[in-house]
Amino acid sequence: MVVQSNLSTLNHCSSIGTRKPATVLDSIPSINLKDLESKTHIMKACEEYGFFKVVNHSVPMEFIAKLEAQALEFFNLPQSEKDKAGPPDPFGYGSKRIGSNGDVGWIEYLLLNTNPQVTSLKTLTVFRETPEIFWSAVKEYIEAVKLMACEVLELIADGLKIEPRDTLSKLLKDENSDSCFRLNHYPPCPELQALSGRDLVGFGEHTDPQIISVLRSNSTSGLQICLKDGVWVSVPPDETSFFINVGDALQVMTNGRFKSVRHRVLANSHKSRVSMIYFGGPPLSEKIVPLTSLMGKQEESLYKEFTWWEYKTSAYKSRLADYRLGLFEKKNTPSASH
């Protein structure tokens, strides 16, 4: 993406904040997956932040390096070549526009379907337009990250004393799992940043609707999360580790005990940021309800019963910053804080 070609979008792109640096969160829970007490630490992190870092994971670093190299090769193609894989439907290549409801950001991306049972013409187009090595890098990376996501969900099940242990992870392993994978590229934007005097939004504030999201980025900063008190804090990058987000579906399944984390990405003035995110979702027909084993005798569900397809459809009709779970909360019970 060439900076000059996007100068005309300045008035339409969101900008927030000032040059004053954001608070840096130096106490992000860091979970060692080999630690025998990891389930306890994960529980605390999901309740307090809805977000944590995973270290000592099983994803080979060569998978990460290969995919990042292939992603950069794609994003460095001439714009006309990248456009052959778009516009997104929602899968495929997109630039600046995020969804179909007016959200924009300083970003270009590839959104790919990960379920071989579901045919996405745009996903197929992406791989027709790119070398076999790119397709191979995506597949091996997704397989490895999916395994890690399932391991995390099983540790969550252990911490919550959910039986059987694969109650959550089997939703990702299901052949009809509605999961997806996103490669984001945030180009540097020194000219626009200087003109506006503000931080440009790469990807606006939102929560992820799925069960769990697994994020990895390069060493460029930009990710911020919103704490319970409404304060936005910057997350120091760590290119060798992964960051886990609690999604809206997991918030509902724990009846609000875990909170889906609100997060955003600010563009960097001088360095490009590349991130890769696996979004672990259930089958479209899956009912999203609080797990029976977590409900006390007198406890009522905070949410109406709905399927993943119903929630996903509603989410796609909303703006990024909308509190999307609000439409599905029971009005006669105390709502989850937002």
Task: Render pLDDT for 290-333 as a digit per residue (tens, 0 to 9).
Answer: 999 999 877 999 999 999 999 999 999 999 999 999 999 997 65
| pLDDT of the residue at 258 | 97
pLDDT, mean of residues 169-174 = 97
pLDDT of 138 higher than 80: yes
Domain 12-317 has CATH 3.40.50.12170: no
Q: Choose between 303 and 116: higher pLDDT.
A: 303
Predicted confidence (pLDDT) at residue 20 exceeds the cutoff of 50 = no
The pLDDT of residue 117 is 64
CA distance 299 to 198: 46
Which residues does 233 contact at the CB level (< 8 Å), separation at least 6? 22, 23, 24, 25, 224, 225, 226, 227
DSSP 264: E
Residue 290 contacts residue 254 (beta carbons within 8 Å):
yes
Work out the average pLDDT over 233-240: 94
Separation between Cα atoms, residue 222 and residue 189, nearest integer Å = 13
By DSSP bridging, strand 51-55 and strand 30-32 are: parallel
Q: What is the predicted pLDDT for the residue at 8?
A: 32
Catalytic residues: 273
Least confident among 73-77, 84-88, 157-161: 84-88
What pLDDT is stored for residue 333 in this prediction? 54
> Before 164, cis peptide (omega within 30)?
yes
**pLDDT, tens digit, for every residue of 1-18?**
333 333 233 333 344 443
pLDDT band with cut points at 50, 70 and 90 for residue 121: confident
